[in-house]
């Protein structure tokens, strides 16, 4: 199989400083050192300047009135702390922002808050890892402010990697949802589908959540059978990708359909608007932008990685 450099969020080798998260004094000492920077997130958008992730000093006025304390992401190559913190709306902030356009804060010069999904493939590996961590863990804090056991308000702990309930003592940890995403093949053809909410031409390989008590292999077979009515035989793991929209781990697999005759696809209309067996020759045209009916997935996505490596013969 080919290299994983084309999978965004695939890992930038960040020192996550996990060994000090439970030591509040060590965390405070690290954060107090010169060079500490805090990545601000606004409505889940990351701050970029000239294509690079941008951090601010911890005492920057932008964090006044922030809805939550900062989360420790790790240390940079010089040993300085990197944190993330959400910021509140400011006077004049747009009620609805174009996902394709960065939103500029009046105090930040040319830096702008950009949607991560649209810019992820332009980031270097370290920035991409930091952005994915920040978006996922801050979204978890925002959506898990109350204890799931007793309903009381919870508080941030462990440098942002846990929430504790003062009322009943229950600890809560960041959520990650496992998702299988599978390149299904039959001979020299690959299965592609389109979800009803997607743009007309956008297609991808199939995907779905792993259920409790289910193996990855069983999830692949179940999802394909549910979505297009096809029985998958052998399944193997290929690669994975954190997907902070909001907090999934995409588990990339390849599944093979046996038999001499290509199975008829019977898409579930609730899940799949269209499904096709696509030949290797047609997939090459899709990647070249020469197919008006089908467009390849986002650059940087594991879906694109699976399709490209199969096209190149690296998954055979």
Looking at residue 248, which CATH number applies to its domain?
3.90.79.10
> What pLDDT does residue 4 have?
58
Q: Specify if 294 maps to a domain.
A: yes
Q: Are residues 126 and 184 in the same domain?
A: no
Q: Are residues 113 and 196 in the same domain?
A: no
pLDDT digits (tens, 9 = 90+) for 262-278: 999 999 999 999 999 99
Q: Are residues 242 and 296 in the same domain?
A: yes
- Domain CATH code at residue 51: 3.90.79
The yes-or-no verdict on residue 93 having pLDDT over 50 is yes
pLDDT over 70 for what percent of the chain?
Answer: 98
Of 121, 143, 165, the last residue of a domain is 143
Average pLDDT over residues 214-234: 98
pLDDT bucket at 2, cuts 50 / 70 / 90: very low
> What pLDDT does residue 5 have?
66
Into how many domains does the chain fold? 2
Q: Are residues 53 and 120 in the same domain?
A: yes
Q: Is the pTM of this model over 0.85?
A: yes
The yes-or-no verdict on residue 14 having pLDDT over 50 is yes
Of 101, 121, 143, the last residue of a domain is 143
Cα angle 211-212-213, degrees, rounded to a multiple of 5: 110
The yes-or-no verdict on residue 64 having pLDDT over 60 is yes
Q: Specify if 126 maps to a domain.
A: yes
Average pLDDT over residues 221-232: 98
Q: Specify if 5 maps to a domain.
A: no
pLDDT bucket at 12, cuts 50 / 70 / 90: confident
Mean pLDDT of the chain: 96
Q: Are residues 24 and 66 in the same domain?
A: yes
The yes-or-no verdict on residue 8 having pLDDT over 80 is yes
Q: Are residues 224 and 289 in the same domain?
A: yes
The yes-or-no verdict on residue 10 having pLDDT over 80 is no
> What pLDDT does residue 50 have?
94
Q: Are residues 283 and 233 in the same domain?
A: yes
pLDDT bucket at 157, cuts 50 / 70 / 90: very high
The yes-or-no verdict on residue 195 having pLDDT over 90 is yes
Domain span holding position 89: 18-143
Q: Are residues 139 and 204 in the same domain?
A: no
Q: Specify if 53 maps to a domain.
A: yes
The yes-or-no verdict on residue 1 having pLDDT over 50 is no
219 compared with 199, residue with greater pLDDT: 219
pLDDT digits (tens, 9 = 90+) for 125-146: 999 999 999 999 999 999 999 9
Of 128, 143, 158, the last residue of a domain is 143
Q: Specify if 166 maps to a domain.
A: no
Q: Are residues 138 and 203 in the same domain?
A: no
Q: Are residues 24 and 124 in the same domain?
A: yes
Q: Specify if 164 maps to a domain.
A: no
Q: Specify if 155 maps to a domain.
A: no
Q: Specify if 172 maps to a domain.
A: no
């Amino acid at each position: 199989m080919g290299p994983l450099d084309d999978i965004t969020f695939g890992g930038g080798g960040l020192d996550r400083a996990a060994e000090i998260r439970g030591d509040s004094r060590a965390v405070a000492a690290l954060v107090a050192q010169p060079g500490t920077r805090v990545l601000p997130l606004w409505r889940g958008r990351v701050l970029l300047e000239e294509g690079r992730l941008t951090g601010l000093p911890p005492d920057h006025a932008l964090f006044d009135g922030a809805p939550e304390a900062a989360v420790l992401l790790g240390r940079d190559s010089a040993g300085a702390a990197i944190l993330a913190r959400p910021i509140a709306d400011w006077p004049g902030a747009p009620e609805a922002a174009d996902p394709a356009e960065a939103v500029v804060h009046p105090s930040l010069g040319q830096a702008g808050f950009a949607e991560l999904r649209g810019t992820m493939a332009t980031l270097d590996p370290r920035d991409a890892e930091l952005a994915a961590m920040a978006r996922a863990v801050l979204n978890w804090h925002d959506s898990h402010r109350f204890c799931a056991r007793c309903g009381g308000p919870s508080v941030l702990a462990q440098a942002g990697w846990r929430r504790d309930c003062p009322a009943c003592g229950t600890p809560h940890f960041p959520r990650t949802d496992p998702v299988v995403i599978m390149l299904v093949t039959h001979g020299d053809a690959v299965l592609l589908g389109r979800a009803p909410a997607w743009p007309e031409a956008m297609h991808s390989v199939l995907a779905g959540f792993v259920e409790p008590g289910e193996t990855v292999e069983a999830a692949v077979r179940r999802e394909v059978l549910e979505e297009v009515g096809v029985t998958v035989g052998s399944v193997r793991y290929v690669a994975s990708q954190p997907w902070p929209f909001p907090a999934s781990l995409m588990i990339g697999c390849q599944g093979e359909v046996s038999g001499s005759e290509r199975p008829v696809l019977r898409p579930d209309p609730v899940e799949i608007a269209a499904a096709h067996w696509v030949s290797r020759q047609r997939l090459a045209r899709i990647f070249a932008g020469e197919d008006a009916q089908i467009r390849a997935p986002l650059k940087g996505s594991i879906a694109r990685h699976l399709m490209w490596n199969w096209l190149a013969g690296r998954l055979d």
